Amino acid sequence: MANDNVVLRFSDVTFQYSEQRPILDEASFSVRNGSKIALMGQNGAGKTSLFKLILGEYTPQSGGIFRTPKEATIGVAKQVIQPEHMDMTVRDWFATNFEDVPYNLDKHIATVLGAVNLETDISKKVRAHSGGQQARLLLAFALIQDPDILLLDEPTNNLDQEGIEHLTGFLMMYEKTVIIISHDAEFLNTFTDGVLYLDVHTHKVEQYVGNYYNVVEEIAERVERERALNARAEAEIKKKIAQAEVFAHKGGKLRSVAKRMRDTAADMEESMVEVRREDKTIREFTIPAQEFPYDFNGKILDIKKVSIIKKGEPVVKHLDLTLRKRMHILLAGPNGIGKSTLLEKIANGTAEGVTIGDNVRVGYYRQDFSTLDYSQKAYDSLMDVMDKKEEQTLRSTAAGFLLDGKALGNQISHLSEGQKGLLVFARLVLMKPGLLILDEPTNHINFRHLPLIAKAIDAYAGALLLVSHIPDFVSQITIDETVDLGKL
């Protein structure tokens, strides 16, 4: 439970990558010990950069960042495990958390794995764990240092419903300070008691008290009040300018009256409330389906058997499932059963007992975006999937996903995780796949975009194979059949 002691304070902090990329402009806020704070802001506003400032990985150009006490420790659960750590064993990866590895490291690991409800062999490689298991490993990795301040960056990504419920319960009982970035509104509303809002336009941090939904409503009401004030001010300004013009034309002493009216109008214009420019939302879009020749037999995907993991061992299960146009299949099952592995093998054509129809184009949204070439520029990544290389079509499609010229010119490695997700959707639109494979397509995506993404998936006229642990998202998509791997 929060108390009045401040554990973290930003005082007039200014930070920028360059003059063209400001993140914070004299930002000030404080976080009380034991509080649970949601960090909000548009994709690209700098939420992850703010975390790096807290961690000391970035240094502000001016202002101060203070912890109380100075030796207060910080743990961070990042969005993804770094590629260079994927081939380490779980034990060796956890050991990188310490300058001097404790003699009882295995006991510490067992404790934090229990806290995140994960059973695994610590001699197993990190790579061998599913996306949901890796999400739990990331949280355990942060907890092993018993930090005073816990930073969580999209911790529900890849977690199944059981995992989300366990994490929610854990955070509700957690007695220390938590600052969390998440686009899962329902999850945030369960345990947060305050919000830090990073405004991408003003580069200030606004602080609010209350649970997530209450704060979002408070922000919306404030925006409406500011707009109403500005509307009245604009009407008064127009009136004074019109009167000033009348007096100016009459000449004589009335010219000085006209000047005073213009000055008053100018002062009113300067004092108008700066209305927050709301986070942008992507444009409504469709994912065009591949057109097949008249002699196509209609079978886009044929699944006769699948390999899943039960009690740590691979097990083959037989199926009789054929996907044709306009068929939407939901693949369900607990974390670790092999959903992502199955989708990956189907996408690359190596799944035994699975046949993809002749010349079917496969569009694949992988949960960790590893289908993208991070060394490539976003522009080139989009151009690569286009049959007809039309620049105008590319830029128009990208703009609909909030990828402007600057983002297109960036290497993919420099994009935020949210921007990478939107880039994949833009690729799918330009690709026009016959088979759409989506593995946790809500990961890292701003919740404002999700209804439009769900609508596009629902309208997709090709064959769809979907994995998602977000019930509200799935409920917006027509599902013809659910295959629960845990019940095979």
Which of the given ranges, 2-6, 39-43, 122-126, 170-174, has the highest pLDDT on average?
Answer: 122-126
Residue 36 maps to a domain = yes
Q: Which of 65-79, 123-137, 343-357 has the highest mean pLDDT?
A: 343-357
Instruction: Give the distance between the most distant pair of CA atoms in the chain.
Output: 97
For residue 313, what is the enclosing H or E element?
strand 313-323
pLDDT score for 252: 66
- Residue 156 pLDDT: 83
474-486 confidence digits (pLDDT tens): 999 999 999 999 8
Beta bridge partners of 13: 27
Six-digit token string for 132: 């949901």
User: Could you give the dihedral angle defined by the CA atoms of residues 222, 278, 155 and 22, in that order, rounded to the nearest 10 degrees?
Assistant: -110
Q: Verify that 322 and 201 share a domain, yes or no.
A: no
183: which DSSP letter? S
| Domain span at 482 | 301-487
CB burial of residue 273 (10 Å; 0-12, 13-18, 19+): middle
Q: Are residues 166 and 40 in the same domain?
A: yes
At 329 the pLDDT is 96
Q: Mind listing the pLDDT tens digit for each residue in 452-481? A: 999 999 999 999 999 998 888 999 999 999
What is the per-residue pLDDT for 250?
66
pLDDT of residue 124: 92
User: E strands within 346-452?
Assistant: 354-356, 362-365, 435-439
Domain boundary among 158, 193, 216: 216
Residue where a domain stops, chosen among 216, 233, 266: 216
Structural domain contains residue 473: yes
Q: Is residue 109 part of a domain?
A: no
Are the C-beta atoms of 486 and 332 separated by less than 8 Å? Answer: yes
In 3D, which of 390, 389, 457, 463 has the Cα closest to residue 424? 457
Q: Is the pLDDT of residue 277 over 70?
A: no
Quickly state the pLDDT bin for 443 (edges 50, 70, 90). confident
Q: What CA–CA distance (Å, rounded) separates 453 from 442?
A: 9
Confidence of residue 256 (pLDDT cuts 50, 70, 90): confident
Question: Does the pLDDT at position 114 exceed 90?
Answer: no
Q: Identify the pLDDT of residue 126.
A: 92
Residue 431 has pLDDT above 60, yes or no: yes
Closest to 326 measured CA to CA, from 463, 434, 431: 463
Reported as half-sphere exposure (CB side, CA atoms, 13 A), residue 68 has a value of: 13
Q: Which CATH number characterizes residue 207's domain? A: 3.40.50.300
CA distance 363 to 437: 6
Position 389 pLDDT exceeds 80: yes
| CA dist., res. 55 & res. 238, Å (int) | 50
Q: Which of 183, 216, 249 is the last residue of a domain?
A: 216
Radius of gyration of the chain (CA): 26
Q: Which of 103-107, 184-188, 237-241, 304-308 has the lowest mean pLDDT?
A: 237-241
Q: Is the pLDDT of residue 326 over 90?
A: yes
pLDDT at 68 over 80: yes
**Which 8-state DSSP code applies to residue 299?**
-
From CA 277, how far away is CA 467, in angstroms rounded?
34
Instruction: Tell me: pLDDT of 153 over 70.
Output: yes
The residue ranking higher by pLDDT, 222 or 391, is: 391
Residue 387 maps to a domain: yes
pLDDT in tens, 402-428: 999 988 999 998 888 889 999 999 999
Residue of 291 and 115 predicted with greater confidence: 291
**pLDDT value at residue 423:** 96
In the prediction, which pLDDT does 477 show?
A: 96
- The total of structural domains in the chain comes to 2
Domain assignment present for 282? no
Residue 180 is predicted with a pLDDT of 93
Q: How far is CA 255 from CA 238, 239, 262, 311, in A?
A: 18, 17, 11, 89
Would residue 239 count as lying in a domain?
no
Same domain, yes or no: 328 and 465: yes
pLDDT of residue 377: 95
468 C-beta neighbours (distance < 10 Å), count: 21
As given in the structure block, the two tokens for residue 90 are 């779980």
Residues 330 and 208 in one domain: no
**Listed residue (59, 159, 69) closest to 117, CA to CA:** 159
Q: Give the global pTM.
A: 0.69
Over residues 378-402, the mean pLDDT reads: 94
Is residue 366 within 8 Å of residue 439, measured between CB atoms? yes
Query: With 90 as the cut, is the pLDDT of residue 93 above it?
Result: yes
Q: What does the pLDDT read at residue 399?
A: 93
Residue 378: pLDDT over 90: yes
| 107, containing H or E segment | helix 105-115
Is 395 part of any domain?
yes
Nearest alpha-carbon partner for 112 in 151, 140, 76: 140
The structure tokens listed for 315 are: 């097990």
- What pLDDT does residue 165 have? 85
311 and 210, same domain (yes or no): no
Nearest to 464 by CA among 439, 427, 442: 439
Q: How far apart are CA 394 and CA 385, in angstroms?
A: 10
Q: Is pLDDT of 182 > 90?
A: no
